[in-house]
Structure 1
Amino acid sequence: MTAQPGEPGGALFDLPAQAPEKKGSERPSPRRPAEHLPVARVVVDTPLPHLDRPFDYRVPADMDEAAVPGCRVRVRFNNRKLNGFLVERVESSEFSGRLAYLDAVVSPEPVLTPEVLGLARAVADRYAGTLSDVLRLAIPPRHARVEKEEPGEAAAGPPGDEGPGPWSDYPEGEAFLEALREGRPARAVWNALPGGGWADAVAAAAHAALAAGRGTVAVVPGGRDVEAVDAALTARLGEGRHVALTAGLGPAERYRRWLSVLRGRVRVVVGTRAAVFAPVRDLGLAVLWDDGDDVHAEPHAPYPHARTVLSMRAHRAGAGMLIGGHTRTTDAQMLVESGWALPLSADRATLRRRAPIVRAAGDDRELARDGAARTARIPSLALRVAREASRTGPVLFQVPRRGYLNTLACARCREPARCGTCRGPLAVRGAHALPSCGWCGRMAGQWACPECGAARMRATVVGARRTAEELGRAFPSLAVRTSGRDEVLDRVPDSPSLVVSTPGAEPSAEGGFAAAVLLDGWALLNRADLRASEEALRRWLNASALVRPGGTVVVCAEATLPVVQSLVRWDPAGFAERELAERRELGFPPAVSMASVTGAPEHVRELLDQIDLPEGVELLGPVPVEGRAEGPGETRPVERALLRVPRGGVGALTRALKAAASARSARRDEHLAQVRVDPLHVV
């Protein structure tokens, strides 16, 4: 439904009054509308939910040629000039009043394609958001100089066929490629073999889709993954047939590459989260690598997840879909069990040849040999394996947390050590530093436990830097390197050394690591998070996949836990299947859909009172959560309510949430509770 600012019962805003003419001034020449399709429908860049619809404007004759569907325009709206996108031109408007003219055509480049517009509308509806918010994520800012550059020539001719590559290791791999070559929508959930061949497998799948004359969008978690796939695509497709889109390129270069995709010069894109909306023509394959990584969840409204967006895009375009990783998430398992995608994995014989040997430090045999292994942070098995493996190559130590001594407690009564001024947590930042508060920064040199009076502390959480220090003393003849947020290593040489890394920052080693030790399993498994076990297995498998075939992986966790047994057997599919069955029985995501409403208590309750909940929706809460809500001159506690609904009812729930949010914004409420559909973390 279209509308116009000033429409009765519509936008609630009036057009700006015309300024009185000054005496002696010349009257401006009257504007006349374009002769052909004189009405433009414009999506105005405003986040207000009740204005989430196109508005009609008149196209002046002098902008007739430039005002093409998909171009950027500027319009007068609520006494301001706002940017927007012209989505359609029509002969007439349903609005019976006087239409305002377009103020300007910012650029005649049709940056909003019909496919991206339809996808953005579907994503906004799926996540109870607004179209303008999604378009802000989908289309990069304009660079006029880049738009005026001469476009380069597209690569001539189809790329040569280099065979199935890594897909020959999978029983259904070559059939999957053949379906892509024939242009069929082959959809698979892929459990990749250990090692670095996954990037070449993605390139081979993109090659197959390109051979059918169709494009590919590959989305990976981070810059190092982009570089790996970028190199594999160059090797398999040749120069000039693909582009890599990352934030590190800078605005101008990123826009230049994005335009080359929009204009059809290249048909294959690899990038991070924002690449899900890349305007690839005739999409034939959508790829998502490591879909369990948190970075695939957009932190800006309406908070879409790359897995959902790519699945929607592939379904709408009749394209293939490949969700891959060393693990399998419960969300991907849902797609398998629904029949939307098929599982794609290697047989057990191939897996045994390619995978390392995984041992649990807490199994009965090790406990009988070393009784202290139950409580030791680095048990004797881990030290023994690391000492033997370091003779032939590098050894990886994965530590869940960065820093030094991140959490302290009383050495006598184990009461958490807190600041005497603000009650914040105390931590030690370095080898020669005093304990200091993580909130206010004050030193706590004269600390005493308020419960028992003891003056000594002990560490409850040890970070990567302290671990590297301890290993340096235990292995004085070996070099110890660290990889984490401050400095991430890309590669390490194939020489004896120790590498201490946080999850996700593990470097690759030439020929693979000789061994890996996964420390502090309890820190991952004891997190207050529904996905704690799933996330622990993902991090463990990603680190273990870097170990050379026949190497050893030691996981420091209780051996009888199902997640540890899944790691020992290298069975992520079986774990996902069991985990999903348990969540289905208990009514947890992804077996059901959830929406969260978070904010100050009064705002959460007000919004909940206004929601006309559809049948089948269950309200949980609201309950207090960590955080503070900013108010006028004060901060207030934060509450969160959860709305649970069967997956088939998520559309009705999002429409109800959108209607309630629209009613609030129409009243110009300043404080809106935050609404998230399918929140990533549900404690």
Structure 2
Amino acid sequence: MPAAELPVARVLVDVSPHHLDRPFDYLIPARWDAEAVPGCRVRVRFNGRLLDGFLLERVADSEYAGRLSWLQRVVSTEPVLSGRTLELVRAVARRYAGTMSDVVSLAVPPRHAGAENEPAGQAASTPVAPSHTGWGGYENGRTFLEAVRAGRPARAVWQALPGEDWARRLAELAATAASAGRGTVVVVPDQRDLDRLSEACTELLGAGRFVALSGELDPAERYRRWLAVHRGKVRTVVGTRAAVFAPVVEPGLLVVWDDGDELHAYPRAPYPHVRDVLTHRSHAAGAALLVGGFARTAEAGLLVESGWAREIVAPRPTVRARAPRVTAVGEDDRQLERDPDTRAARLPAVAFEAARNALREERPVLVQVPRKGYVPALACAGCRERARCRHCGGPLAVPERPGTGATPVSCRWCGHGEAGFRCDNCGSDRLRAIVVGASRTAEELGRAFSGVVVRTSGGGRILDRVPSGPSLVVSTPGAEPPVAGGYGAALLLDARALLSRPELRAGEQALRLWLAAASLVRPADRGGRVVVLADSSFTQVQALVRWDPRWYASVELAARNELGFPPVKRVASVDGSPSAVSALLERIRLPEEAEVLGPVPLEEDTDSGPRERALVRAPRQQGRALADALWTAQAAHARSGGDPVRVRLDPLELI
């Protein structure tokens, strides 16, 4: 017997195909009447299988003319998909031409019955706003802080000063919002950043007044913390991208730190980006938004240029006083020949001297190397063609220091050893290093600076901190450990490896990684030096030397505008087999000014055969129409039973 009132449940069933991306109607049995609340988890029979789903709403009648199936079970009465969370899921799915089920899997963590049945506990008390903050040194800094305190929907792009304690600044904002009874979500790229931010929040807000959400938590603990936020017991959330959908009550402040980091983009369909999700949440909820970092992305630059957000920047004299001295040096082999020490370290004389002076002053030296390993990339010494495996065509490398006996050269894809290399292009049997990895660099620096401790950070072993005494710290980008008082010098090696990546954002990423490393160095008036091995004619290098990422973002944005790439235009990539890509493109009804580029073959080697990629782009004003057209085409394609395709809007990498 169905429920007496509103007996029809509209259920979002956990199925992925686009043509099934809609609610389905089910009858609610009378025995589940009280438990079947909007937003709860249910089980339903779908296409002969028992599947999970979410009850979105209850209605009196169904528009379906046939016979309705019964709701099988209410799994939990917790309304985890309702209100603003449901609205956000719908908005993100539409923006990225994805399905609601895919977005729900990102927004709502898996249920853990034990955590759900635990006593709710007391709501966290309201903290006191910090009496002193570091925002006064920035133009518009105090204004933004007052807007957060008053609950106004201020939006800003923050350019952090060199050496800024960014975690403390963000904790001050969170404490200010919490003191006014408003919710906060702060998203950082990785666990190291989260640990640093959590430490600052513990100091300013106090333990128990915030929760940290990340993918590294076990399922029970993650769901327990998520429920505390959902139930309004805690209103401040910090975390990695797992926190971006956190259902805080009365959100008043949304923050993303270092929005250019690739970790802010979900690697799963529909591939949303943290910055864009928070931007939508800010607009929908009327909450303040802050996009911060040492660098500035073109997307953040567009927010400022369009007038949607204001800048929070320090005066130029303050920037110059806080920044280290930056020198750009092209890699000149004649410098290496004149000094045996610099030749052993593969460093120009100016870089070697900067390191030696810092060590003499009892300060550590940071050495940034783009790649981990020993020699991660090899080429033919004769014609300079990339050295590839004879078995699978993968790149050859020297993964670790050579030992006595067998050759260390092997394929990075299949692991096959290559004892007798011979170039297919010119016939040479000699190899040369394209890029030298962190392990090899540490070995060479140890020989050049005899008696100095050499530490490495990167890969599976990332250092949290290093002591302040003299040492050499060889690190891959993003793994640089902080040191009390700052490094005496930083050497940014093999800059061409970062700048030459075949990606639209290669230059932007290079500058971001350089600024992050350079921000760990002492100011110039205290002897801090940064030496980047790159030609000073590159705009990225000029921005680093002048410490002016704002200028570089404007240059990059102008170039994107001329090329017609994000963020000025919305671009979608369509990947799949040639037949699948062709079939999908034929089904798309594009907006008037949209265009298709390609398709072109991809180099990916798959068991299913060759793959192609097409790009579809449209003016930003037609971005929603483009997403809708792609969703409709994917639904038709899925209904036809064609080969799978992968559609991504505004992908981070455009090869």
SS at match of 1:628: coil
CA contact 1:296–1:306 (8 Å) conserved in 2: yes
2:176 is the alignment partner of 1:188: no
CA contact 2:158–2:290 (8 Å) conserved in 1: yes
- CA drift of 1:660 comes to 1.1
CA contact 2:187–2:257 (8 Å) conserved in 1: yes
2:263 is the alignment partner of 1:263: no
User: What letter matches 1:119 in structure 2?
Assistant: L
Provide Cα deviations, 1:528-564, integer angstroms capped at 9, x if missing partner: 1111111110000000011122211101100121110
Q: Quick check: 274-283 or 448-457, which moved more?
A: 448-457
Aligned mate of 2:476, from 493, 497, 502: 502
CA contact 1:372–1:379 (8 Å) conserved in 2: no
Q: Quick check: 332-341 or 580-589, which moved more?
A: 580-589
CA contact 1:70–1:85 (8 Å) conserved in 2: yes
Q: Distance in 2 between matches of 1:161 and 1:431?
A: 54
Partner of 2:366: 396
2:640 is the alignment partner of 1:672: no
| Pairing 1:343-382 to 2, within 5 Å after superposition | 343-362=311-330, 377-382=346-351
Q: Distance in 1 between matches of 2:288 and 2:473?
A: 39
CA contact 1:600–1:638 (8 Å) conserved in 2: yes
Partner of 1:416: 386
Partner of 1:149: 118
- CA drift of 1:581 comes to 1.1
Aligned mate of 2:494, from 488, 502, 520: 520
Partner of 1:206: 174
Q: Distance in 2 between matches of 1:150 and 1:613?
A: 52
Q: Distance in 1 between matches of 2:232 and 2:475?
A: 41
Aligned mate of 2:247, from 257, 279, 297: 279
Q: Percent identity?
A: 57
- CA drift of 1:372 comes to 8.1
User: What letter matches 1:552 in structure 2?
Assistant: R
CA contact 1:138–1:278 (8 Å) conserved in 2: yes
| Pairing 1:227-626 to 2, within 5 Å after superposition | 227-362=195-330, 377-391=346-360, 392-433=362-403, 434=407, 435-550=409-524, 551-626=528-603
CA contact 1:154–1:240 (8 Å) conserved in 2: no
- CA drift of 1:369 comes to 7.8
Q: Distance in 2 between matches of 1:93 and 1:422?
A: 56
SS at match of 2:43: strand
CA contact 1:245–1:257 (8 Å) conserved in 2: yes
Q: Cα RMSD (Å) of the superposition? A: 1.9
- CA drift of 1:619 comes to 0.7
Q: Distance in 1 between matches of 2:503 and 2:624?
A: 26
Partner of 2:62: 93
SS at match of 2:173: helix
User: What letter matches 1:397 in structure 2?
Assistant: V
CA contact 2:155–2:290 (8 Å) conserved in 1: yes
Structure 1 residues 681 and 164, CA, compared in 2 at 3 Å: closer, same or farther?
A: farther
User: TM-score under structure 1 normalisation?
Assistant: 0.91
2:146 is the alignment partner of 1:178: yes
Q: Distance in 1 between matches of 2:444 and 2:336?
A: 20
SS at match of 1:626: coil
| Pairing 1:69-108 to 2, within 5 Å after superposition | 69-108=38-77
Structure 1 residues 309 and 532, CA, compared in 2 at 3 Å: closer, same or farther?
A: same
Q: Quick check: 646-655 or 372-381, which moved more?
A: 372-381
- CA drift of 1:590 comes to 1.4
Q: Distance in 1 between matches of 2:589 and 2:334?
A: 61
SS at match of 1:352: helix
Partner of 2:610: 637
Q: Distance in 2 between matches of 1:154 and 1:548?
A: 43
- CA drift of 1:454 comes to 3.9
User: What letter matches 1:456 in structure 2?
Assistant: R
User: TM-score under structure 2 normalisation?
Assistant: 0.95
Q: Distance in 2 between matches of 1:423 and 1:183?
A: 58
User: What letter matches 1:660 in structure 2?
Assistant: A
Q: Distance in 2 between matches of 1:540 and 1:263?
A: 42
Structure 1 residues 452 and 619, CA, compared in 2 at 3 Å: closer, same or farther?
A: closer
SS at match of 1:101: strand
Q: Quick check: 440-449 or 266-275, which moved more?
A: 440-449
- CA drift of 1:437 comes to 2.4
User: What letter matches 2:450 in structure 1?
Assistant: P
Q: Distance in 2 between matches of 1:101 and 1:423?
A: 55
User: What letter matches 2:17 in structure 1?
Assistant: L
SS at match of 1:226: helix
Partner of 2:623: 650
CA contact 1:599–1:629 (8 Å) conserved in 2: no
CA contact 1:619–1:642 (8 Å) conserved in 2: yes
Q: Distance in 2 between matches of 1:222 and 1:411?
A: 39
Partner of 2:105: 136
CA contact 1:286–1:322 (8 Å) conserved in 2: yes
Q: Distance in 2 between matches of 1:446 and 1:43?
A: 58
Q: Distance in 2 between matches of 1:318 and 1:260?
A: 23
Structure 1 residues 74 and 350, CA, compared in 2 at 3 Å: closer, same or farther?
A: same
Provide Cα deviations, 1:568-606, integer angstroms capped at 9, x if missing partner: 000000110111112212212211110111011111001
Q: Which runs of 5+ in 1 are unaligned?
A: 1-31
User: What letter matches 2:593 in structure 1?
Assistant: G
Q: Distance in 1 between matches of 2:109 and 2:225?
A: 11
User: What letter matches 2:178 in structure 1?
Assistant: L
Partner of 1:627: 604
Structure 1 residues 411 and 119, CA, compared in 2 at 3 Å: closer, same or farther?
A: same
Q: Quick check: 610-619 or 406-415, which moved more?
A: 406-415
CA contact 2:336–2:347 (8 Å) conserved in 1: no
CA contact 1:186–1:321 (8 Å) conserved in 2: yes
Provide Cα deviations, 1:602-624, integer angstroms capped at 9, x if missing partner: 11001111111221011100001
User: What letter matches 2:652 in structure 1?
Assistant: L
CA contact 1:164–1:177 (8 Å) conserved in 2: no
Partner of 1:682: 654
CA contact 1:377–1:519 (8 Å) conserved in 2: no
User: What letter matches 2:296 in structure 1?
Assistant: R
Provide Cα deviations, 1:109-131, integer angstroms capped at 9, x if missing partner: 11113101001101101111111
Q: Quick check: 590-599 or 433-442, which moved more?
A: 433-442
- CA drift of 1:649 comes to 0.6
CA contact 1:193–1:326 (8 Å) conserved in 2: yes
SS at match of 1:627: coil
- CA drift of 1:367 comes to 10
Q: Which runs of 5+ in 2 are unaligned?
A: none
User: What letter matches 2:13 in structure 1?
Assistant: V
Structure index of larger Rg: 1
CA contact 1:164–1:174 (8 Å) conserved in 2: no
Provide Cα deviations, 1:43-77, integer angstroms capped at 9, x if missing partner: 11111111111111111111111111111001111
SS at match of 2:267: coil
Partner of 1:18: none
